[in-house]
């Protein structure tokens, strides 16, 4: 069993950390607020700083919202970097900028420690069920060391390549998810406006080539009007911004990604940034002056 640190105990971080505890590992935790009692009552040790977590743990997992947060967790005055020694492994499971990730990895490597970027897909449901998809960038040796921990949190675990490649894969994932949400929203809106029952249309489509996990899960959310967040619009906005910034730097065009981002921007402009990203349908509904289904 390993001494593991976990920083970032939000709606996904808390169940992920819980799986590590349940797997028999010694857990040292830190967050901007007091750690949940569900973890500390189960044996997790609360630490005052990231540096304290790093001093106690051999593997330090980070799960925070955005690039600046990871930067602060790692390199602030009492950050993780201050507690690292040779041979320890930092695992960033946040979804952040691939270019910044490469810089973070180099700084950590220069301290004699290993770095893995290992963003996830699956949302709150996947975090709770330990079925997350985990996309990893870093050395094969570090990956093999941490893989037993990944297996406690997820099912589809892939070493994609070097540092930054995990984050690049996550950005690609978020492009696909956003465009699928947009497609499902437009299809169900079209069906509803034409007078068909969107629930029955969805049921019919689930048996054909249009079937997808997005149609199954988020199509149901659109019909039942359940937009409590599993993954917030504001977080998906952040991920698509990474995609569009990266595309600009590479001189390529992502036209449909840009459209999806504008729809999310419209939701945010109407006070809906905290909705689940399936709530993207609200922007399309506002333009059509028609809802897919009644609340």
Tell me if 211 sits within 8 A of 194, measured CB to CB. Answer: no
Contacts (Cβ under 8 Å, ≥6 apart) of 60? 4, 5, 6, 7, 50, 53, 54, 80, 84, 88, 89, 90, 91
CB atoms within 10 A of CB 295: 6
Instruction: Respond yes or no: is residue 224 known to be catalytic.
Output: no
Q: How many CB atoms lie within 10 A of CB 224?
A: 11
Rounded-to-10 torsion of CA 274, 275, 278, 280: -70
End-to-end CA distance of the chain: 49
Q: How many C-beta atoms surround the C-beta of residue 157 within 10 A?
A: 18
- Residue matched to tokens 């700083």: 49
CB 163 within 8 A of CB 101: yes
Residue from 102, 170, 200, 248 carrying the catalytic annotation = 170
Distance between CA atoms of 275 and 221, rounded to whole angstroms?
11
Strand, coil or helix: 247? helix
Measured distance CA(278)–CA(202) in Å, rounded: 15
Are 62 and 93 a contacting pair, CB within 8 Å? yes
- Please provide the size of the chain in residues: 295
Which residues belong to the active site?
170
């Amino acid at each position: 069993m390993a001494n593991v640190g976990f920083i970032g105990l939000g709606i996904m971080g808390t169940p992920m950390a819980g799986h590590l505890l349940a797997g028999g590992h010694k857990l040292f935790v830190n967050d901007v607020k007091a750690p949940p009692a569900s973890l500390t009552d189960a044996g997790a040790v609360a630490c005052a700083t990231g540096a304290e977590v790093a001093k106690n743990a051999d593997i330090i997992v980070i799960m925070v919202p955005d690039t600046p947060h990871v930067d602060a967790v790692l390199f602030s005055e009492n950050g993780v970097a201050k507690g690292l020694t040779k041979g320890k492994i930092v695992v960033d499971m946040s979804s952040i900028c691939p270019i910044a990730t490469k810089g973070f990895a180099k700084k950590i490597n220069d301290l004699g420690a290993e770095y893995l970027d290992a963003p996830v897909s699956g949302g709150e449901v996947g975090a709770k069920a330990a079925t997350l998809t985990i996309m990893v960038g870093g050395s094969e040796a570090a990956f093999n060391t941490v893989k037993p921990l990944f297996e406690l949190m997820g099912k589809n675990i892939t070493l994609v390549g070097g540092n930054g490649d995990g984050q690049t894969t996550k950005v690609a994932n978020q492009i696909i998810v956003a465009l699928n949400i947009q497609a499902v929203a437009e299809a169900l809106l079209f069906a509803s406006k034409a007078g068909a029952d969107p629930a029955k249309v969805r049921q019919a489509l689930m048996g054909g080539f249009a079937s997808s996990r997005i149609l199954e899960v988020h199509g149901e959310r659109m019909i039942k009007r359940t937009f409590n967040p599993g993954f917030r619009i504001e977080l998906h906005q952040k991920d698509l911004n990474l995609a569009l910034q990266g595309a600009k730097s590479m001189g390529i065009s992502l036209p449909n990604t840009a459209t999806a981002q504008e729809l999310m921007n419209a939701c945010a402009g109407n006070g809906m940034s905290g909705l689940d990203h399936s709530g993207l349908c609200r922007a399309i509904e506002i333009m059509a002056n028609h809802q897919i289904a009644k609340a």
